[in-house]
Amino acid sequence: MPPPTDWHPMKIRTFLLATILLNPASYVCASPDIAATQKSAEQGDIAAQFKLGVMYAEGQGVPQNDQQAATWFRKAAAQGDVTAQGNLGLMYFQGRGVPRDYSQAAAWFRKAAAQGNADAQAKLGHMYKMGKGVSQDDRQAADWFRKAAEQGNADAQYFLGAIYDSGRGVPQDDRQAAAWYRKAAEQGDSTAQSTLGIMYGSGRGVPQDGQQAIAWFRKAAEQGDDIAQLILGSRYAVGNGVPQDYQQAATWFRKAAEQGNANAQSNIGQLYLNGNGVPQDDRQAAAWLRKAAEQGYAIAQVKLGMMYNIGRGVPQDDRQAVAWFRKAAEQGDPEAQYFIGREYVAGRGVPQDYQQAASWFRKAAEKGNADAQFNLGVMYGLGHGVPPDFSLAYSWLSVAAALGNEDASKSREDVAKELSPSQLAAAQQLAAKYFEQYQPRN
């Protein structure tokens, strides 16, 4: 399950693309008197200037024109219209109708925020949080989020909760984080609902309560939050807080996957691979794994490499297998590092190269991969790709055996025969050190 995070990527994107307008339609009638509005605006009428800005921004009664919208919002903003100030700030932030200019965006947000506009206060908080247009300042971010949150702004409530969650700008406080997430969640904010579900699941800031966790995940998932859909699918897949139900798991994974969630794409691919909750279909499995792999999701890259390795759901292709293993291996995935080492030993998809094999086995071995530890031990015993060293061979084989590799114990016994009593004692000490140091990492 993903941990709570103070900045949900989709949340930031939608927050910053949102309009400050409370309801554009309330300012523009179905058939506006354009000439009268234009005349009043040119005479300095603030309401008309703002209305004309909305008309151009939305293309209502006039051709949509961001430059004209910015012009009229500027006129109204200069006369102190708070919503026009906020909208002009947003246009500078987005580069709509004006050159993108974060400093100007922050300046206009500040004018609106100073008049008490909660949306502008929230956006100014974000500018301070990200250091855009202003010097990065977590305390200022927290102050502006709080002003907006106390007015009931759901976005600010979520972000204030996130600040308490991370302890940046305020003392870290799980209870305060949960309290602000709840306020946003109760207003229907799906990201807050998902995050509150995570907190109930782990018992952070609230009593641990699996049913509450599921309830909040479901609320968020039904609103289309891909993180909640992923988590709910994962809960159904393993029967955590709900009865195990692969069909429900597949349903929720698919919803998240279709939004581009790489983890969910990988999971639905795995369901197709095993025929859990969906008809078994290797081609569908490969297609979904590819979507995730192309987004850089290492688990999917490894699985897709394995499918190319054996020709399951895709044509057998050793080079493609190695290419996908390499992508995951370069991200530090120990299974991929083991597989690419194996391919270098066999010369499949790459020229045979024991030095490369040993290098990749070492990377995986140091992350606790028992198969890689075994192979590295064998290579030290044979002197393939590394100088022969029975002490190192014994040490790596001992660690592999302790982590469950069934072949390692017998090989270790053979290597022990090549060591003197003092060498064996030293190798055993090194093995104990390696065992402590090179456990599997989650």
Q: Is residue 325 part of a domain?
A: no
| Number of domains making up the chain | 1
Does residue 46 lie in a domain region?
A: no
Domain assignment present for 357: no
391 located within any domain: yes
Across the chain, what does the average pLDDT equal? 93
Residue 39 in contact with residue 33, Cβ under 8 Å? no
Give pLDDT, residue 165.
96
pLDDT (tens digit, 9 = 90+) per residue, 62-109? 999 999 999 999 999 999 999 999 999 999 999 999 999 999 999 999
Q: List, for residues 419-431, the tens digit of each pLDDT value.
A: 999 999 999 999 9
Domain around 410: 372-442
68 within a domain of the structure (yes/no): no
Residue 266 lies in a domain: no
Establish if 409 belongs to a structural domain.
Answer: yes
In a domain, 328, yes or no: no
Using one digit for the tens of pLDDT, what is the confidence trace for 271-294? 999 999 999 999 999 999 999 999
What does the alpha-carbon distance between residue 221 and residue 243 come to, in Å, rounded to a whole number? 18
Place 18 in a pLDDT band, splitting at 50, 70 and 90.
low
pTM: 0.85
pLDDT at 14: 53
Mean pLDDT across the stretch 122-145?
97
